[in-house]
Chain A
Amino acid sequence: MATPERDFDQLIDSVLTEYSRVEPPPGAIERWLAHTADPLPRRRSFWILPAAAVLAVAIILLVLALGLRRSHRPQPIPQPRLTGEHITITMPNSVKAQPLTDEQKALIEMLAKDPKALGKLSPEQLQKLLQAQKEKHP
């Protein structure tokens, strides 16, 4: 037999009334008053210490990562810069312009004439050829 809805309301009311009739245990009020002025209990937040440790480690790792990144950064390639109306190419100090030697000039001349033939020569043959070129054009 199903309980009617009104009975459910009465049942709910009855249970809720139990909640409202709850009484403190005997002697509780005296204990509360006796300890009211005691210092508040210190809540142990067990999560704070591990969380702080994780945060510290994360910061240290971040600092190290940033430091490594800076040390591995490649040096910028020096670029020629334009100055004034007259275009002047300023070379960085590491590169010092040197005039071509006679051998270098002879080599360039031979390359211009027959680059393929030059590639087939051995170092000794090339040296002899350069010497002959030098004698030809003192």
Chain B
Amino acid sequence: MPVTEAEEWEAGVCGHARMLYRIAYAVLRDPHEAEDAVQETLQRAWKYRARLAQVDNPAAWLARIAWRVAKSHRPRPNPIARAQAIEELPPGVELRSPGENAEQTFVDRELRLLVQRHIQHLPQKLRQPLLLSTVEELSAREIGKILGIPEASVRTRCLRARRLLRDKLQVAMRGSHGHA
């Protein structure tokens, strides 16, 4: 039975849908905005599907579109909404604390929220490669192509981002113990 173009397209897209959503969510930090961004990404990709045949890496091509759409889709900064978005855990993530008591669970959750806040406050050129590195389907080389930077810079910036996060956490912890 001959496969239609649409069916072929669906088969190809389904495999990358999660990756596209994770990229959009990494930028937008809101599930509804991320869903809209992925919808627009797929519409754009469908519009320019003729180019897909000329592309070596379709996943990277889609990822690049998703990144650009998410960046342009960025909603206006709203401090209240932003704080709420940081407080909410992303969908599909469970707060696991097997064998721990409620107090430890609370402390763990607060620490995670603190790390999330610090990630959002990282300089853009460090935050972007770090967030994209969490998308398992993307290699450092592909991240470099999305961001327009060399592969080595992706690795360096991720290391710098982690170092900066560690330093901020140390300062935060010292401050909290000092007030105790």
Chain A contact residues, CB within 8 Å of chain B: 1-3, 5, 8-9, 11-12, 14-25, 28-29, 31-33, 35-41
Do residues B112 and A14 form an inter-chain contact, with CB atoms below 8 A? yes
- Which residues on the B side are within 8 Å of A38 (C-beta)? 43
- Kindly identify which residue among B10, B112, B134, B169 contacts A8, using a CB–CB cutoff of 8 Å: B169
CA distance A16 to B115 in the complex (A): 9
The distance from the CB of A80 to the nearest CB of chain B, in whole angstroms, is 70
In chain A, what residue has the closest Cβ to B116? A15
Q: Is the CB of B43 within 8 A of A25?
A: no
A-chain residues with CB within 8 Å of residue B40 when the two chains form the complex: 40-41
Residue in A1, A9, A18 whose beta carbon sits within 8 Å of that of B93 in the complex: A18
Interface residue from A12, A14, A15, A36 paired with B42 (Cβ < 8 Å): A36
Majority SS at the chain A contact face? helix
Shortest CB–CB separation between residue A59 and chain B, in angstroms?
A: 30
Q: Which of B115-165 contact A (CB under 8 A)?
A: 115-116, 119, 130-131, 133-136, 162, 165
Q: Which A residue's beta carbon lies closest to that of B36?
A: A41
Chain B 1-43 interface mask (CB, 8 Å, partner A; 1/0)? 0000010011001100110011001100001000100111011
For the complex, what is the distance from the CA of A21 to the CA of B93, rounded to whole Å? Answer: 7
Kindly state the interface size class of chain B when it binds its partner: 35 or more
Cβ contacts B45-63/A at 8 Å (1 or 0 each): 0110000000000000000
Closest A residue, CB atoms, query B38 = A32
Whole-angstrom distance between the alpha carbons of A65 and B147 in the complex?
A: 47
Given contacts A20-B134, A23-B18, contact A11 B169 (CB under 8 A): yes
Apart from A18-B90, A32-B13: 8 A-B pairs, beta carbons within 8 A: A11-B115, A24-B18, A25-B31, A28-B38, A33-B10, A36-B13, A37-B6, A40-B47
A21 to B22, CA, bound (A): 8
Residue B166 interfacial (CB < 8 Å): yes
Known: A20-B22, A22-B22, A37-B46. A12 touches B162 (CB 8 A): yes
- Asked whether B76 is an interface residue with its Cβ less than 8 Å from the other chain, the reply is no
> For the complex, what is the distance from the CA of A40 to the CA of B166, rounded to whole Å?
42
The 9 closest A-B pairs by CB, nearest first: A23-B92, A19-B134, A20-B134, A24-B21, A15-B115, A22-B90, A8-B166, A36-B46, A36-B42
Assembled-state Cα–Cα distance A8/B111 (Å)? 10
**A residues near B6, Cβ cutoff 8 Å:** 37
Contact B21 A22 (CB under 8 A): yes
B68 at the interface (CB under 8 A from A): no
For residue B174, CB closer than 8 A to chain A, the reply is yes
B174 touches A24 (CB 8 A): no
B79 beta carbon closer than 8 Å to chain A: no
CB-based contact B135/A32 at 8 Å:
no
B47-A18 in contact (CB<8A) = no
